[in-house]
Structure 1
Amino acid sequence: MEPARDDEPGEVLIVTGMSGAGRSTVANALEDLDWYVVDNLPPRMLRPLLELTELAGGAVPRVAVVVDVRGRSLFGDLPEAMRTLQANRQLRVVFLDASDAVLVRRFEAVRRPHPLQDDGTILDGIRRERERLAPVREAADVVIDTSALNVHQLSLRTVSLFGEEGAARHTVTLMSFGFKYGLPPDVDLVADMRFLPNPFWNDELRALTGEDPRVREYVLAQEGASEFLDAYATALRPVMEGYQRENKRHSVVAVGCTGGKHRSVVMARELAARLSDVPGVAVRVAHRDLGRE
């Protein structure tokens, strides 16, 4: 099969469904997956929007449009817009649903009225919405019942359905730093490498950094270095797996030494290498204080 050309129309996803069923959660998850997301777009604006994305060539390969009853009378244009677009675009429709009881509880929890309840009750609005959305639900490619899903579970379901195969669900940054410059402000976990002898006191290594093979060899040869790396990497694996289950998309593991120049640089890179094969995890390395005097 020939690869898609940059000027070929990209994939389009319409996200719709019952108010309170999780459209915002799905939209946020799609943005994290690098979809271009447009919220509350009137259906008759779908074609002009997609024409604009086509003019961008391959810059906007995947577009997700959130359409709901906030558009009031304009929402009735959605079935016809779907049929027109399916003729020349790769279009999928995901419909989010939940039981009446769950939807009522969600509206009561946020203390907001249903957009269609008018002078009636929340349940009146839900019933009107179900009637209006029945044709759209019937034509949907994917129906997700979110009654028993929390926001993390719904996000993970979105990733599994609409993420690229093999795409990372979590990115961890291994960041070296120097304690004398203070802790990084946005870290999740901190490891202290000051239990290892400091290469700074070795005249031949002082001017070098942990990027130099001679410093790496010196640090890894110290008692406890390899044992720490193996044990800490083993301990981090279930943490990375748990972050994925909880839909925590990013984390920072800070690896510190006195100045952030020798030991922490070596150990951050070694930890990154040991975590590189954790399924669903992308690993980055950053050196906050490397180069400081």
Structure 2
Amino acid sequence: MAEQLEVVIITGMSGAGKTVAVQSFEDLGYFVIDNMIPSVATKFVDAVKQSGEITRMAMVMDSRSREFYDQVVPCVAQLRGRSDLTLRLLFLEATDEELVSRYKESRRAHPLSHQDGVLPGIMRERQLLNDLKSQVDLVVDTTTLTPRQLKQRITERFSPDEAHSFYVNVMSFGFKYGLPLDADLVIDVRFLPNPYYIPDLKHQTGNDPAVQAYVMDNPLAQNFYQHLYLLIEVALPGYIKEGKSSLTIAIGCTGGQHRSVTIANRLAADLKNNQYPVHVHHRDVDKAN
């Protein structure tokens, strides 16, 4: 029986990190095609399969192709319906503010700007991508990720050794800096006592034992965490059975430095002890408090 071809479509917002994604997939040994036209993608996949030399390929499909918005959704549906390949969609996202900043820094024009600036182009693109985004397998918000961190996220999810395993991403964040765009579950822990108001703890974080003890020694936190972990423990097998390949659990407090970091660390450690592959990421822990 012929080996199935693994196909990853890389798409998402212009300026959200597709260049880094291309380099990451090349480093993982994927055969990568940049700026693939959706109308010829199926024929190209057929040619790759017939060669018999490639088992993993990634294709970038984005707004540089004029046919993209009309043809990408039918293209995805056609490829998903094939039994001779495994298709996954990676959607790269970022906030409007971050995308504007990146375009200004690069001094490039947005592909959908009609002489009215970068932000209107971003808003047009976001609206046009709504249908596609609802079908993707993994959304990665690159707003606060460095290129190295984005490459690490892709490697953890798409490395050949891990490609078919369920993966849990636990992250902490601060509500004052906005909700994470790629979260599947958002847990608000702002009701817990805040170490920020303790002078000796204010400038520490949930990575420090003193802060962890202050948060977790509280009976309210202990009771809450027991119920939270039970909820996650019950839900994860259901997500796996449904066919979900990864789950992002975002724990939020006001500034993303004390309570959310503590709970995220505890949850990640307990999930690892329960044999789940886990990555923990503290989005706002290094921001000045």
TM-score range, shorter chain: 0.5 to 0.7
Residue 109 of structure 1 corresponds to which residue in structure 2?
A: 105
Aligned to 1:78: 72
| Counterpart for residue 263 of structure 1 | none
Q: Give the C-alpha shift of residue 56 in structure 1.
A: 1.2
| Pairing 1:29–2:20 present | no
For structure 2, the 5+ residue unaligned runs are 164-289
Task: Specify the structure having the higher radius of gyration (Cα).
Answer: 1
Q: What is the rounded CA distance, in whole Å, between the counterparts of 2:116 and 2:34 in structure 1?
A: 27
Counterpart position of 2:3: 8
TM-score (norm 1): 0.53
Q: CA deviation at 1:72?
A: 1.9
Tell me if 1:64 matches 2:58. yes
Structure 1 residue runs without a partner (length 5+):
168-293
Distance 1:75 1:50 in 2: 20
**What code does the residue aligned with 2:28 have?**
L
Q: Which residue of 2 aligns with 1:96?
A: 92
Question: What is the aligned partner in structure 2 of residue 147 from structure 1?
Answer: 143
- Residue number in structure 1 paired with 2:284: none
* Deviation for aligned residue 1:166: 7.3
Alignment of 1:104-253 (within 5 A): 104-165=100-161
Runs of 4+ in 1 over 6 A off after TM superposition: none
* AA matched with 1:50: V
Q: Does the 8 Å contact 1:9/1:61 carry over to 2?
A: yes
Alignment length (residue pairs)? 161
Code of the residue aligned with 2:15 in structure 1: it is G
Q: What is the match of residue 34 of structure 2? A: 39
Deviations along 1:133-181, one digit per CA (max 9) or x if unpaired, are 11111110000000010101001111001012279xxxxxxxxxxxxxx
| Distance in 1 (alpha carbons) for counterparts of 2:69 and 2:93 | 17
Tell me the distance in 1 between the aligned counterparts of 2:67 and 2:6. 27
1:208 maps to: none
Partner AA of 2:77 in structure 1: R
Q: Would the aligned equivalents of 1:43 and 1:75 in 2 still touch at CA under 8 Å? A: no
SS class of match (1:71):
coil
- Distance between the aligned counterparts of 1:69 and 1:98, measured in 2? 16
Identity %, equivalent residues? 35
Show the counterpart of 1:191: none
The CA distance in 1 between the partners of 2:29 and 2:119, in whole Å, is: 36
Q: How far did 1:101 drift?
A: 0.2
SS in 1 for 2:57: strand
Q: In the alignment, residue 23 of structure 1 is paired with which amino acid?
A: K
> In the alignment, what sits opposite 2:259?
none
CA RMSD of aligned residues (A): 1.4
CA offsets per residue over residues 259-278 of structure 1, 9 Å max, x none? xxxxxxxxxxxxxxxxxxxx
Measure the CA separation in 2 of the matches of 1:135 and 1:74.
12
Q: Distance between the aligned counterparts of 1:75 and 1:38, measured in 2? A: 18
